[in-house]
Amino acid sequence: MNTRLFLSAATMALLLSACGGDDDDVAMPADDAVPASALASAQAFSRYVGSLPANDHAEPLSVEGVDPPTSDTDEPIDVN
């Protein structure tokens, strides 16, 4: 009887340990909206967008109501 109890407990432990979960360590952004500080200038917006991590698993940012700032006097930003 003890052997049967031990084997069923060991089987249950093995099955539960197999239910680990995802190995994807995906950092989700805390907020899904573009911050107001990124809309202060064209350079701030470019720095913010450039600092976003490439993440295929994250939800996209909400761009509803976002009008990216532009400048007629600033030089173009080098993207290389």
Domain ranges of the chain: 33-51+65-71
For the chain, give me the number of helices (H) and strands (E)?
A: 2, 0
Q: Are 59 and 30 in contact (CB under 8 A)?
A: no
The residue to which tokens 């976002």 are assigned: 66
**Confidence (pLDDT) at 80:** 62
Percent of the chain with pLDDT over 70: 69
**Confidence (pLDDT) at 15:** 62
The string of pLDDT tens digits covering residues 5-40 is: 777 777 766 666 655 555 555 444 456 778 888 888
The string of pLDDT tens digits covering residues 49-75 is: 888 888 888 788 787 888 888 888 888
